Amino acid sequence: MKSLIFKNIAKEVIDIEINSLKKLKKGINENFAKAVEAILNCKRGKVILSGVGKSGIIAKKISSTLASVGTPSFFVDASSCSHGDLGQISSNDVLILISNSGESSELRNIIQYANRNKNIVLIGIMSRKNSLLYRASDISLLIPEVKEAGPGSIVPTSSTAVQLALGDAIAIATMKQKKFGQHDFKKFHPSGSLGSKLKTVEDIMLVGKKIPFINENVKMKNALKIISSKKLGVLIVRSSKNKTTGIITDGQIRRISEKSKDLKTLKVKDVMTKDPISVDRNVLAAKALALMNSKRITSLCVNEKNKKHKTIGIVHIHNILESNIQ
C-alpha cells in the first residue's frame, strides 16, 4: 500500500515539474538570444555566476557546465563577495545572477558593483518582474512563477528545475555556436567514464620501436624469434619501401605449422595476410574495439588519414581493455 502511495507522489512531483518546464519553454524570447550573444562576445573575460541557497547550487552547476563545454566560468559566493571577493569580477566579465524572487538581499552588493561598472554585462534570472534584480539587469531572463511540488508550495523544487533547464539551454546554445565537438570535450574530460568513451586510437596505440615491423622478405625462421620477443602475437609486414603489405598473427603461424613442415624456410610474404584491417588514428577507441569484435581479431594497424599503407602505430585489444574502454 505504501509503495503505491510513494509511486503516486513521485509521479505527481514529476508532472508538476514537467508543467513548469512547459511554461519555461513558452516564455523563451529574444532576451535568451541576447544572453547567449553576450556570453559568446565575452572573449577576454569569464562568465561568473552567483546565487543564494538553492539558486546558488543551481548557479554552481550551470557554471560547471559552461566551463566543461568551452566557456570559461566560475561561481562566486554571494556572501563572500561582500568581504573582498568582488575583486574576482573584472570589467571584461559577464555576470549571471540567479534569484527566484529577484530580491535576495545577499545579491545587493554584487548588483551595485556591476551597475557601477558599465562594462560588466549583468544577466539576471528571476521569476518576478520589476524585482530588484529584474530592474538592475542588462538582460533579464524572466522565468515563470511556478507551483512548487510538496505541501504548501514552499519547497524549492519546480523553480530550481526551471533554473537548471534554462542554464543548460544557455550552455548548449553557446556550445553549438562555438562548434564545440567531441575532441574539444575530451580535452576537459580526460578521466572517468566520459574520458574513456572519448579516447581515440591515437591515445592508446603503440608507436615507434614497440610496433612489431618486419620486412616481407625475411625468412619465417627469424620472424618466429621476433614475434616471440615483441610479445604481441602479431607482426606488421612491410615492403622495402616501408609500405605496409600484410600482417602475421601467432594464430596463423600455428595453423600453417600444422599443414607444412617447411614453415621456417618460407618467407614472411608467403605466409602473411595481405592488406590488414586498419583504422585512422582519430577513430574512437570504442569503435576500434567494436571492429575487432566484429572481425574477431586482436590487433589493428593504425594509419594516417587516407594513407592506408603507412602504419604509424598498432593497437592491441589489451591496450583497449587496460584503458577501461567498453
Per-residue pLDDT of the chain (326 residues; tens, 9 = 90+): 788 889 999 999 999 999 999 999 999 999 999 999 999 999 999 999 999 999 999 999 999 999 999 999 999 999 898 888 899 999 999 999 999 999 999 999 999 999 998 899 999 999 999 899 999 999 999 999 999 998 888 899 999 999 999 999 999 999 999 998 777 777 777 776 777 778 888 888 999 989 999 999 988 888 888 888 888 889 999 998 889 999 998 888 888 777 776 777 788 888 888 989 899 998 888 899 999 899 898 899 998 877 878 899 999 888 888 877 76
Q: What pTM was estimated for this model as a whole? A: 0.75
Whole-number Å distance between alpha carbons of 22 and 12: 15
Whole-number Å distance between alpha carbons of 157 and 8: 17
Q: Which of 311, 235, 324 is nearest to 285 (CA)?
A: 324
Cβ neighbours of residue 80 under 8 Å, at least 6 residues apart? none
Domain 2-180 sits in which CATH superfamily?
Glucose-6-phosphate isomerase like protein; domain 1 (3.40.50.10490)
Print burial letters for 167-201: b (CB count within 10 Å at least 16), e (below 16): bebbbebbbeeeebeeeebbeeeeeeeebbbbbbb
Whole-number Å distance between alpha carbons of 88 and 97: 15
Q: Which residue shows C-alpha cell 605449422?
A: 257
201-322: CATH topology: CBS-domain (3.10.580)
Domain definitions of the chain by residue range: 2-180, 201-322
The DSSP output letter for 206 is B
- Following CA atoms 59, 65, 68, 70 in sequence, which dihedral angle do they give, to the nearest 10 degrees? -90
Strand residues in the chain grouped as ranges (E):
47-51, 73-75, 94-98, 121-126, 139-142, 213-215, 234-238, 244-249, 273-274, 278-280, 299-304, 307-316
